[in-house]
Amino acid sequence: MNNQIYRHILLPAFAPVLFLAVATTPVDLLGCVTRGLLAVAIAFLSVLAALVSAFVGVRERMQGNPDANWWATSALVLAMPAVLLIVFA
């Protein structure tokens, strides 16, 4: 159980935390363009990882594996930077 929480919640949670760290960095430190490009890159990579997690979750669900819900949770956590990008834009 603890391994699943680490693998499917805490580890993917680094993407939203990293996105928020970049988004809240002062403009004087990184500049507007650099901050924007980093934020878009983090959101893009996070969405790709969310799609992979969703695909694995669907495949696990079709095989009847009860761990499919953990993959869906990972996909939701990894989709957060894209949602935050839309909210902050």
How remote is the C-alpha of 14 from its chain's centroid? 7
* Coil, strand or helix at 66: coil
- How confident is the prediction for the chain on average, in pLDDT? 93
Averaged pLDDT, 52-67: 94
Question: Mean pLDDT, to the nearest integer, of 1-17?
Answer: 90
pTM higher than 0.85 for the full model? yes
Instruction: Confirm if 19 and 43 have CB atoms less than 8 A apart.
Output: yes
Rounded to whole angstroms, how far apart are CA atoms 82 and 6?
22
Q: How many CA atoms lie within 13 A of 10 on its CB side?
A: 7
Span 14-41, pLDDT tens digits:
999 999 999 999 999 989 999 999 999 9
Q: Encoding tokens for residue 47?
A: 């969405």
